Amino acid sequence: MNRRKIRWKHGVSLLMAVALLFSAPAAVKAELHWPEGPQITSPSAIVIELNSGAVLYEKNADQVNYPASITKVLTTYLALEHSDLEEIVTFSDDAINLNQGDTSHIARDYGEQMTMKECLYAVMLESANECAYAVAEHVGVKMGGDYQTFIDMMNAKAKELGCTNTHFTNANGLPDENHYTSARDMALISMAAYKNEDFRIICGTRSYRIPPTNRHKEITPLNNHHNLISNYRTDEHLYEYATGGKTGYTKAAGSTLVSYAEKDGLTLVCVVMKEVGYGNFEATIELFDYCFQNFYKVEIDENGNAITSDGQEDTLGDSEGYPSFVKLEENAQIVLPIAADAKDVEVSLVESGLATDAVAQLKYTYGGHVAGCADVVLSNAEVEYDFFEEKESSEDVKVIEIKGKHILMIVGAIVLLAALIIGGKCLYDNYYVILHDMNVRRQRKDRFRPISNRKRKRRRRDRMFR
């Protein structure tokens, strides 16, 4: 596994080479049009496609505002991550005393016991503040601390999800000047929560009944106050493609809203903040309609090829024969304007701020807008050593082996080449010195040659007269 991790950049480079075959030139073309969004009255809003991460609309998305009860999206999400739905939650004195009166609640009593599941339905449907507090306290104690431990967990999770303008001081969203977030940060939190199946079920439920408890002999009915999916208060804002969400309101925060909708393969999360009255619902419907009418999804396979809406593969490069060290995450997709072509998308490599199981990330842009991101992860191919020689494994997966003898041959060749280069350089640097020495030796031989000749003649003559 470590060997494969060491070589991940090789595979990423191949994926990039494939992806760049369909990227547009660096300069943004004039015809690459991104649809203009509607003029909503909400001071701050954002819409993100959940599967791709593409921001389809934003208005003052980083502006800091009070969230009110949409805080409970994170409360519910964290509780689901750190507890079982059948755990028993006991309501403490603080849960009752600090969260009833002039706040939203379902009139729980001291020492009352409910399951975690029942508490979370009360939190998300009726926005019950005492239930949110009891849930936070229960999980905090379970984690070895108290209520504040859960608040610390909320802030840690927000930071983990990439939030930069968020700080929480409570689990229910009651007014506090140090309890704030932004539309973008709230969208990041809501996206993560929606990937939890239990959360999707709870936030999309129109009504629920809590059975009798140790303090209440009667059934407690719960109704969802989100007008896009429930007609409990009015049917004026029912939206066919809405799948869930959470409402919020305080005088300081105004009307806040988190909403989810799904259509034609797009899953949207919309956050509207600091609205007035029912303006949060009206703005959300307008934004959803804009996104569904102007954008479509493009699936990206593990090799970086685009899959068109009719199921045909739009070849972005031939990856056949490439080593399968890495691949794109499953179900990767981007979102483009209706009239856009996938071939006009640009691709760049991101190597920081990644998920723990990702070695890199490909970021797709169109006309200067981020159309989506896809994590590059290690593949399941078993890679053996061979010097870039392709072999078919038993699972028909192309792998690469590296042969030891090839490595030795290459190392030997490199050493020999280095020696030749060094020797040649020495010869070049000392050429005139060597030439001078050769001339000196030649002159010495020429000077002593007559003496040597006379000596040879004398020795020859002496031999004749002996």
Q: In terms of residues, how long is the chain?
A: 466
pLDDT category of residue 454 using cuts at 50, 70 and 90: low
Comparing CA positions, the residue from 330, 372, 376, 373 lying closest to residue 357 is 376
Average pLDDT on 332-337 reads: 93
CA torsion, ordered 209, 211, 214, 218, to nearest 10 deg: 80
At 50, list the tokens.
Answer: 């959940």
Whether 103 contacts 174, CB under 8 Å: yes
59 is catalytic: no
State how far the Cα of 439 lies from the Cα of 159, in Å rounded to an integer: 79
- Of the residues 59, 72, 157, 274, which is catalytic? 72
Q: What is the pLDDT of residue 302?
A: 64
Measuring CA to CA, how many Å separate 143 from each of 79, 83, 139, 385? Answer: 11, 10, 6, 46
pLDDT category of residue 58 using cuts at 50, 70 and 90: very high
At 96, list the tokens.
Answer: 């009752």
At 411, list the tokens.
Answer: 């190392």
Whether 325 contacts 7, CB under 8 Å: yes
Q: What is the 3-state secondary structure (H, E, C) of 40-86?
A: CCCCEEEEEECCCCCEEEEECCCCEECCHHHHHHHHHHHHHHCCCCC
Sign of CA dihedral 182, 359, 79, 268: positive
Q: Could you tell me which residues come within 8 angstroms of residue 36 by beta carbon, excluding any fewer than 6 positions away?
A: none
Q: Which domains does the chain have, with CATH numbers?
A: 2-34+297-380 (no CATH), 44-275 (3.40.710.10)
pLDDT tens digits, residue range 341-352?
A: 888 888 888 877
Q: What is the pLDDT of residue 460?
A: 61
Q: Could you tell me which residues come within 8 angstroms of residue 319 by beta carbon, excluding any fewer than 6 positions away?
A: 14, 15, 18, 303, 304, 305
> 129 versus 447: which is more confidently predicted?
129
> 46 versus 12: which is more confidently predicted?
46
pLDDT category of residue 394 using cuts at 50, 70 and 90: very low
At 464, list the tokens.
Answer: 């004749």
State how far the Cα of 77 lies from the Cα of 246, in Å rounded to an integer: 12
pLDDT > 90: what percent of the chain? 59
Whether 253 contacts 274, CB under 8 Å: yes
pTM above 0.85, yes or no: no
pLDDT category of residue 319 using cuts at 50, 70 and 90: very low
Angle at 295 between CA 291 and CA 301, to 5 degrees: 130
State how far the Cα of 129 lies from the Cα of 98, in Å rounded to an integer: 9
391 is catalytic: no
State how far the Cα of 250 lies from the Cα of 313, in Å rounded to an integer: 50
- Of the residues 69, 92, 104, 230, which is catalytic? 69
Whether 374 contacts 329, CB under 8 Å: yes
Average pLDDT on 222-232 reads: 97
Q: What DSSP letter does each residue of 229-283 carry, written as one string?
A: T--SS-STT--TTEEEEEEEEETTTEEEEEEEEEETTEEEEEEEEEE-TTHHHHH
Angle at 203 between CA 199 and CA 207, to 5 degrees: 130
Q: What is the pLDDT of residue 359?
A: 79
Give the 3-state secondary structure percentages of the chain, helix then strand then coil, rounded to 5: 35, 25, 40
Selection from 250-254, 416-420, 458-462 with the highest mean pLDDT: 250-254
- Of the residues 42, 44, 127, 379, which is catalytic? 127
44 is catalytic: no
